[in-house]
Amino acid sequence: MVKQVVSVTNLGRSGVSDWLIQRVSAVVIGAYVLWLSGYFLMHQGLDYFQWHALMTTLPMQIFTLLMLLSVAAHAWIGLWTITTDYIKPANIRAVSQLVLAFMTLIYFIWAVLVLWGV
């Protein structure tokens, strides 16, 4: 009988889904950067009130939230891959992944709080 080894610390539960999450998240991040760059180019001399007006619209908040989720997912898969490849002792790897996952979660929560002004 062949047993399949399943990792419980990766995001997508398989290499293919992790690969797909990486690619989709990269597209979302890239679209966000391109859109924001275009906005900056079209609005020279942007002041606080214009920036506030942009960032408080619901579509922009949703797009920014999607980008934040993409950054968190993209970062976690990258960090998981690096720790799995380069940290061989299982206990050190598990602690490292736990610390990195916690930091990623804290940064995501902090960014959401800033975004939604809670």
What pLDDT does 15 receive? 82
Q: Do 97 and 78 contact (CB within 8 A), yes or no? A: no
For the chain, residues with pLDDT lower than 50 are: 5
What pLDDT does 33 receive? 98
What pLDDT does 9 receive? 53
Q: Quick one: 58 exposed, middle or buried, by C-beta within 10 A (0-12, 13-18, 19+)? A: exposed
